[in-house]
Amino acid sequence: MVAEGRFELSRTARDTTKVPLGNVGPGTLLGELALITQVMRTLTAIASEPSEIMRINRPLFRRMLEEYPDIARIVEARIARNLGEMAEKLGALAPRFRD
């Protein structure tokens, strides 16, 4: 979680070029899906100014979700939004794979 500062987010394309995805600041939870399930992290976050982060491990994350339902709703909404965006991108690729 970003406690202070700003981070530039990017991912690496198949041709190894850097694809910028935007900037995030305090209060942003990064890699929340990796706290829920075993997934490969695909984003890179680089501090663009002096910054501080708070590392949250899985047991602490689960406890936070149980004790603070508002956090659980925020995480759920973000994961749902990300999955929706992924589904749209996959849908746009569907014509390439038709017979």
Mean pLDDT for back-to-back runs of 10 residues, the chain (99 residues): 94 87 90 77 89 90 89 86 85 79
Bridge partner list, 67: none
User: Among 9, 12, 13, which residue's Cα sits nearest to residue 23?
Assistant: 9
Return d(Cα 77, Cα 32) in angstroms, integer: 12
Sorted by where each starts, the structural domains of the chain and their CATH numbers stand as 2-97 (2.60.120.10)
Instruction: Tabulate helix, strand, coil % of the chain (nearest 5).
Output: 45, 20, 35
Q: What is the pLDDT of residue 61?
A: 86
- Confidence at residue 90, expressed as pLDDT on a 0 to 100 scale: 83
pLDDT of residue 51: 96
> Tell me, what's the pLDDT at 8?
95
Per-residue pLDDT at 99: 64
Sequence letter at residue 88: E
